[in-house]
Amino acid sequence: MGFARTLRHAGVPATPDRVQAMVVALGHLDVASPADTYWAGRLTLCGDPADLDRYDAAFAAYFGGAGAPAPRPRPAAVRLRAVPLDDRDGGGADPGDGSTRTTLASRQEVLRHRDVSTLSAAERDEVRRLLALLAPQVGRRRTRRYGPASRGAVDLERTVRRMLHQGGEPSRLARRARRRKPRRLVLLADVSGSMEPYADALLRFAHAAVRVTPFNVEVFTLGTRLTRVTRELRRRDPDAALEAAGAAIPDWSGGTRLGDALKAFLDQWGQRGAARGAVVVLCSDGWERGDPTLLGEQVARLARLAHTVIWVNPHRGKPGYEPVTGGMVAALPHIDHLVAGHNLAALEQLVRVIGQS
Amino acid sequence: MDAAVTDPAALAAALDRTGYLPDEGLATAAFLALRMHRPLFLEGDPGVGKTSLATALAEVLDARLVRLQCYEGIDAAQALYDWDFPRQVLHLRAAETAGHRDADELERSLYDRRFLVARPILQAIEHAPSVLLVDEIDRADDEFEAFLLEVLADNAVTIPEIGTIRASTPPLVVLTSNRTREVHDALKRRCLYHWVAHPTYEREVAILRRRQPEVAERLTRDVARVTAGLREADLLKPPGVAESLDWAQALHLLGARSLDVENAAATLGAVLKYHEDAVRVRETVLAELIGA
């Protein structure tokens, strides 16, 4: 069916089984009515609020706009205005002496401390390989669910079940305790121009985290708009995952309005549950084009929702760094840890901070 | 289930009679869910009437409404069935005192239907026709989703000791989600997906009039207009229909006939549930919205 192909092109997941469902749905409705065709398709082919806009556009394109009901209110899609960012030094300045450490140290040890923005192509490949080996895992929390335990309250159900097995004879008491589950980990990566040299390493770090616990990690990128890349990063191969994520991010190396993008995250995901009780890692250099007070407010809101807020600032690892940029100053009172993320050793440190929180 | 429901418009009219006013999309979605025997997956902001649709549908179809409220850590024993262990032990003791000897017979009697506690899903399957409301599926864990998928696929529950219990008429399943977590694609694929939007101004006025005919019409219109304005005002928690109903009720109880800045500010707690929102609205947009 031509319409399905148009939809798939537009990014709506019109899989064969969904298309079949649409045909069945149309069988129950009036095929000649454009409105019925519209609803039959929308109800069966879409699976996400983000699909609805794409569906409407594809429907209008394919059926010539005839009969599609008037656009109705739907979830606000974030589309922040792009703000041109003046050409700042992207933090790519060579730290110079950082590369010449003791001659005895192994090549890897040197690499671990090299700023990722200053690597040659071969060194970058090596670092990427090492990055893929990181296994960020989050601390655990108690859940409502009970599980068998060697000590704790008496588990009536299991005790009685055990009795039944033995023909009603009382036996050893079974005990239970609350189970423990890892906290959710949310990674928010700034992909604006000033973070460009670090974005690749940070997304690879995110990929490593997603690989460890695929359904416990959420990854978003912040730039001129908010993009969820968790699904893309679930691919096994790091390069394929990064490529998919790159294709999904419309605002690589653009400007940034950190406050607005963070607000979009909190409105659409964070407050509803993604950030509640989670460990949130925000990777940004804190350069804020918008109003720093908005960023401060939003970080405070995030801190109230989340269990721990960790800010990763690549510049923190540089000698003489002070958090003086407007955004950093506004956010600083609300964050739990400020860590560097400019080289492999710093990212390993981040793994430890995440693990302990 | 109901022969009178021949097209979406007829279903909309029937829902209308129960006091639920669906828009065209929602009526079509519910109609197709009935006809195609597919679960209906509803997403949307809190308070837009996802749960009440299930209640209204149960009323229209004259079916029993079975509600399964999801929460973190919910498992099969709470959703499907469980054995009544204490009664089983009692039975065993009683049989012992009566000098029961046949072990096989005793074991069989132990797993009798009367010792089975039916939880919501089993209830919905046993009592046809029924509407099964799986509320806030996003709160349950992923493992629970996989389990639900299995039950929804064949409309039957298999209990090892008893056998398979199959629904004579498959229940109409309505799943709701507030999008606190993304529900797995595999589950969504088997459902009809509908995003429930906030109602238009006219529809909201109609809903308010229908639910609370005692409230002055002028006040109803004011409340609907200002609530619609508040939804555009970029709040932490935009008010839903549930909130506008509360608000109209609160104002009515205070004896208001129309909305003005004073009585709006006094009752703002009925619509806005965040301190930051209330402060912002009171200081900035409230006067403008009411004056408009």
Q: Sort B113 into a burial class: Cβ within 10 Å, 0-12 / 13-18 / 19+.
A: exposed
- State the nearest Cα–Cα gap between A150 and chain B, in angstroms: 21
My answer on whether B154 and B22 are in the same domain is yes
My answer on whether B65 and B176 are in the same domain is yes
Rounded distance between C-alpha atoms, residue B113 and residue B38, angstroms: 29
Suggest the residue from B42, B109, B189 to mutate for an interface test with chain A (most A CBs closer than 10 A). Answer: B189
Q: Do A18 and B189 touch (CB under 8 A)?
A: yes
- Decide which of A106 and A245 is more confident: A245
Q: Residues of B with CB below 8 A from A47's CB?
A: 185, 188-189, 193
Boundary-marking domain end, from B96, B114, B132 = B114
Please state the ipTM of this predicted complex: 0.74
Question: CA A37, A41, A43: angle at the middle one, nearest 5?
Answer: 120
pLDDT at A88 over 70: no
CA-nearest of B208, B225, B201, B206 to B290 is: B225
Distances (CA, A) of A208 to A197, A216, A239, B271: 19, 12, 12, 43
A65 — pLDDT class (breaks 50, 70, 90): low
Domain span at residue B242? 201-285
Rg (C-alpha) for chain A, rounded Å, is 25
My answer on whether B191 and B205 are in the same domain is no
Q: Do B28 and A18 touch (CB under 8 A)?
A: no
Query: Domain boundaries in chain A?
Result: 2-62, 126-138+183-356, 143-181
- The pLDDT value recorded for residue B218 is 92
My answer on whether B109 and B163 are in the same domain is no
Number of C-beta neighbours around residue B94 at 10 A:
10
- The pLDDT value recorded for residue B220 is 93
A256 — pLDDT class (breaks 50, 70, 90): confident
My answer on whether B18 and B33 are in the same domain is yes
Token readout for A39 is 């609803």
B62 with B2: CB under 8 angstroms? yes
CB-side neighbour CA atoms (13 Å) of A285: 25
- The pLDDT value recorded for residue A273 is 80
- Beta-strand pair A337-339/A226-228: unpaired
Instruction: Indicate the class that CATH gives domain A126-138+183-356.
Output: alpha beta
- State the nearest Cα–Cα gap between A18 and chain B, in angstroms: 7
- The pLDDT value recorded for residue A69 is 53
Question: What sign for the dihedral angle of Cα B114, B116, B120, B123?
Answer: negative
Phi, psi of A180 (to 5 degrees): -120, 145
Question: CA A314, A264, B41: angle at the middle one, nearest 5?
Answer: 125
A127 with A119: CB under 8 angstroms? yes
Report for A104-118, A186-200, B171-185, B208-222: range of highest mean pLDDT: B208-222
**Can you name the residues that pair with B193 across neighbouring β-strands?**
B41
- Decide which of B260 and A111 is more confident: B260
Q: Residues of B with CB below 8 A from A272's CB?
A: 178-180
My answer on whether B90 and B67 are in the same domain is no
Residue B28: which of A21, A43, A272 has the nearest Cβ?
A43
Q: Sort A170 into a burial class: Cβ within 10 Å, 0-12 / 13-18 / 19+.
A: exposed
pLDDT at A96 over 50: no
Alpha helical stretches, state H, chain A: 2-10, 16-28, 34-45, 49-62, 107-112, 121-132, 156-165, 196-212, 230-233, 238-248, 258-265, 292-305, 326-331, 344-356
Q: Do A69 and B110 touch (CB under 8 A)?
A: no
Q: Report yes or no on B291 lying in a domain.
A: no
Token readout for A140 is 């655990």
Q: Report yes or no on B252 lying in a domain.
A: yes
Q: Report yes or no on B267 lying in a domain.
A: yes
- The pLDDT value recorded for residue A165 is 77
Rounded distance between C-alpha atoms, residue A291 and residue A259, angstroms: 7
Boundary-marking domain end, from B159, B177, B195 = B195
The answer to whether B275 faces chain A, any CB pair under 8 Å, is no
Suggest the residue from B161, B195, B273, B276 to mutate for an interface test with chain A (most A CBs closer than 10 A). Answer: B195
- The pLDDT value recorded for residue A66 is 52
- Beta-strand pair A140-149/A175-182: antiparallel
Mean pLDDT value across chain A: 78
Residue B41: CATH number of its domain: 3.40.50.300
Rounded distance between C-alpha atoms, residue B114 and residue B135, angstroms: 28
Q: Report yes or no on B2 lying in a domain.
A: no
Residue A73: which of B29, B193, B198 has the nearest Cβ?
B198
My answer on whether B66 and B133 are in the same domain is yes
Phi, psi of B7 (to 5 degrees): -150, 170
Rounded distance between C-alpha atoms, residue B203 and residue A129, angstroms: 58
Residue A44: which of B25, B75, B192 has the nearest Cβ?
B192
CA-nearest of A309, A310, A321, A319 to A347 is: A310
Question: What sign for the dihedral angle of Cα B17, B20, B21, B23?
Answer: negative
Rounded distance between C-alpha atoms, residue A64 and residue A67, angstroms: 9
Report for A44-48, A227-231, B152-156: range of highest mean pLDDT: A227-231
B90 with B112: CB under 8 angstroms? no
Phi, psi of B45 (to 5 degrees): -60, 155
Count: domains in chain B? 3
Q: Report yes or no on B3 lying in a domain.
A: no
Residue A164: which of B72, B89, B178 has the nearest Cβ?
B89
- State the nearest Cα–Cα gap between A49 and chain B, in angstroms: 7
Number of C-beta neighbours around residue B112 at 10 A:
12
Residue B85: which of A18, A44, A160 has the nearest Cβ?
A160
A85 — pLDDT class (breaks 50, 70, 90): very low
Q: Residues of B with CB below 8 A from A273's CB?
A: 138-139, 178, 180-181
Burial track A138-154 (b if 16+ CB lie within 10 A, e otherwise): beeeeeeebeeeeeeee
Q: Residues of B with CB below 8 A from A43's CB?
A: 25, 28-29, 32, 192-194
Q: Do B71 and A144 touch (CB under 8 A)?
A: yes
Burial track B24-33 (b if 16+ CB lie within 10 A, e otherwise): bbbbbbbbbb
My answer on whether B55 and B90 are in the same domain is no
Residue B85: which of A17, A161, A272 has the nearest Cβ?
A161
Interface of B with A in 202-231 (CB under 8 A): none
- State the nearest Cα–Cα gap between A79 and chain B, in angstroms: 14
Burial track A90-123 (b if 16+ CB lie within 10 A, e otherwise): bbeeeeeebeeeeeeeeeeebbbbbbbbbbeeeb
- The pLDDT value recorded for residue A1 is 67
Rounded distance between C-alpha atoms, residue A184 and residue A215, angstroms: 9
Boundary-marking domain end, from B195, B230, B254 = B195
- The pLDDT value recorded for residue B29 is 94
* One-letter amino acid for residue B4 of the chain: A
**Residue A181 belongs to what H/E stretch?**
strand A175-182
Q: Do B7 and A29 touch (CB under 8 A)?
A: yes
- Decide which of A106 and B106 is more confident: B106
My answer on whether B191 and B238 are in the same domain is no
Alpha helical stretches, state H, chain B: 8-18, 24-36, 50-61, 76-79, 85-97, 103-110, 120-126, 142-154, 185-189, 201-211, 217-231, 241-253, 261-266, 275-283, 285-291
Helix, coil or strand: residue B272: coil
My answer on whether B210 and B235 are in the same domain is yes
Percent of chain A with pLDDT over 90: 5
- The pLDDT value recorded for residue B157 is 85
Distances (CA, A) of A166 to A163, B86, B94, B107: 5, 15, 16, 12
My answer on whether B220 and B182 are in the same domain is no
DSSP state, residue A220:
E
Rounded distance between C-alpha atoms, residue B120 and residue B65, angstroms: 10
- The pLDDT value recorded for residue B204 is 93
Q: Do A215 and B192 touch (CB under 8 A)?
A: no
Q: Do B188 and A273 touch (CB under 8 A)?
A: no
B81 with B117: CB under 8 angstroms? yes
List per-residue pLDDT tens for chain B, 292 residues long: 455 678 899 999 999 999 899 989 999 999 999 999 899 999 988 888 899 999 999 999 999 999 999 987 788 788 888 888 888 888 888 888 887 777 788 878 888 888 888 899 999 988 878 999 999 998 888 778 888 888 888 888 888 888 888 888 889 999 999 877 778 888 888 899 999 999 999 999 999 999 999 999 999 999 999 999 898 888 888 899 999 999 999 999 999 888 888 888 889 989 998 888 888 888 888 888 777 5
pLDDT at A70 over 60: no
pLDDT at A236 over 80: yes
Q: Report yes or no on B140 lying in a domain.
A: yes
My answer on whether B90 and B226 are in the same domain is no
Suggest the residue from A39, A56, A180 to mutate for an interface test with chain B (most B CBs closer than 10 A). Answer: A39
Q: How many CB pairs under 8 A join A and B?
A: 108
Q: Residues of A with CB below 8 A from B38's CB?
A: 21
Q: Residues of A with CB below 8 A from B31's CB?
A: 28-29
Rounded distance between C-alpha atoms, residue A221 and residue A227, angstroms: 5
